[in-house]
Amino acid sequence: MGRPKAVSGRLLVALLAAATLAARAQERPASDRIAFVKMWELSGWERPYGDIVVPLLDGRRLVINDLDTLRLVDIEDANASTVWKIAAGPLLPAPGGDALWLGTAKGLRRLDLKTGKETSPWRAQAIDVSFLRVARDGKRALTADYVSQNAATARVWDLSTGKSRVLADESLHEGRPVTSDFVLYAAALSRDGRRAVTGGRDAKLRIWDAGTGRLITVSKFPASIMCLDFSPDDRSLVVGDAKGQIALVDLASGKTSARWKGHDSPTSAVAYSPDGAHILSGGGDKLLKLWDAATHKELESWGGHDGTMPRSVAFLPGGRLAVTSGGGEVKTITRVKVWDIAAILAGTRGAPKLIPAAARPEPGPAQTESADDAKPVQLLR
């Protein structure tokens, strides 16, 4: 036998490219017909807490949290982009849509979207806010204060006075603020501001009276609670757990009305559509899934983030568009993508189509990923 012929550089490149495409085809689900048009790339993957992307109330603009930078972008106008050098964790639009509430290491702050001016409405609070939700009328907020790597304290704020009330389960720590035995992974505030909900490592879903701080109900789940969201009418909750299950909970009774297997690994993110008819979820199995909220039927499943776990999911006002965040082909970056799911909602099964978005910013310094991308996200440290 003669010596095998050397493979040329050009042929080697072609073979490697073909192998990469084949690997991706096996990695992604069957609905890999998604047209990736444009996306936003962020500088880093490892984000211990904080919101990555938040839709504004006009349904066109997004605020993207790129570590020490906030970026205001317009989905329909590639040239419309505003950047502020602000380090924030969680963020949420203020009623009216002209401002953002920010959770920072200095407490709650308010950013005017027109002027870019950042203010504190009250005396500075010596707390590190790692989670934030604001009621629809803007009068009340739910936060979690970073305490240590494995602890957080939940508080309800009166946004007119700056006064807060700690949520403390009397059965834990003799009524003191819950800490290491009660690691928070998820929390939510009802849109009317009357109820707060917390969940975490101890697999207990707690429903609180946001006005008085009184604990109303405690429900035991099969596994740690990773994410949750209120329905638009504030009557039910969608909850994702560490076993990949998705459950619907009646807010009045605290009882689970439905539960089904959503993902093969922990459910990392869930969100109700604006009309309450659909649920979007992401999981450690690296899939995004759209569900019928009434029948729990899976309407579509797709791998939207190149073989990495989706970190967050949300619907834009109107419900036709959804925004998700997760990794990219290079796992030292985070990507934000907007999807048009109108065809699926209309009953046509097929992969969502990516909507043209603002031009991709220059990526910041790469950061080495230090955790398995299938590891559950701890939303609140």
58-85 pLDDT, tens digit per residue, is: 888 999 988 788 999 998 887 778 999 9
Tell me what percent of the chain is helix, strand and coil, each rounded to the nearest 5.
5, 40, 50
DSSP assignments along 257-321, one per residue: EEEEE--SS-EEEEEE-TTSSEEEEEETTS-EEEEETTT--EEEEE-TTTTS---EEEEPTTSSE
The predicted structure's pLDDT at residue 81: 84
What's the pLDDT at 281? 97
pLDDT value of residue 103:
84
Q: What is the pTM of this model?
A: 0.80
For residues 129 and 311, which has the higher predicted lDDT (pLDDT)?
A: 311
Domain spanning 34-354, CATH architecture: 7 Propeller (2.130)
**Domain ranges for the chain:** 34-354
pLDDT for res 11: 44
Helix (H, G, I), strand (E, B) or coil at 89: coil
d(CA 242, CA 126): 32
Alpha-carbon distance of 273 to 293, in angstroms, equals 9
User: Measured between alpha carbons, how far is 361 from 332 in angstroms, rounded to an integer?
Assistant: 15
Provide the 10 A C-beta neighbour count for residue 117: 11
> What is the pLDDT averaged over residues 214-224?
94
Taking residue 126's Cβ as centre, other Cβ atoms within 10 Å add up to 9
Instruction: Please report which confidence band the pLDDT of residue 7 belongs to, taking 50, 70 and 90 as the band edges.
Output: very low
Q: How many CB atoms lie within 10 A of CB 25?
A: 10
Stretch among 50-54, 193-197, 252-256 having the lowest mean pLDDT: 50-54
Q: State percent of the chain over pLDDT 90.
A: 36
Residue 242 pLDDT more than 90? yes
Q: CA–CA separation, 157 vs 165, rounded Å?
A: 7
| Whether pLDDT at 376 is above 90 | no
What's the angle, vertex CA 250, arms to CA 248 and CA 252, rounded to 5? 160
Among candidate residues 229, 230, 265, the one with its CA nearest the CA of residue 245: 265
The mean pLDDT value for 111-128 works out to: 77
Residue 365 confidence (pLDDT): 33
Please give the pLDDT value at position 284: 92
Please report the pLDDT score of residue 378 as a whole number: 26
Strand partners, 132: 143
Q: Could you tell me the pLDDT band of residue 125, with boundaries at 50, 70 and 90?
A: low
17: how many CB neighbours lie within 10 A of its CB?
10
pLDDT in tens, 21-65: 333 433 343 344 343 435 788 765 555 455 788 898 888 899 998
Spatial distance between the Cα atoms of 166 and 216, rounded to a whole number of angstroms: 15
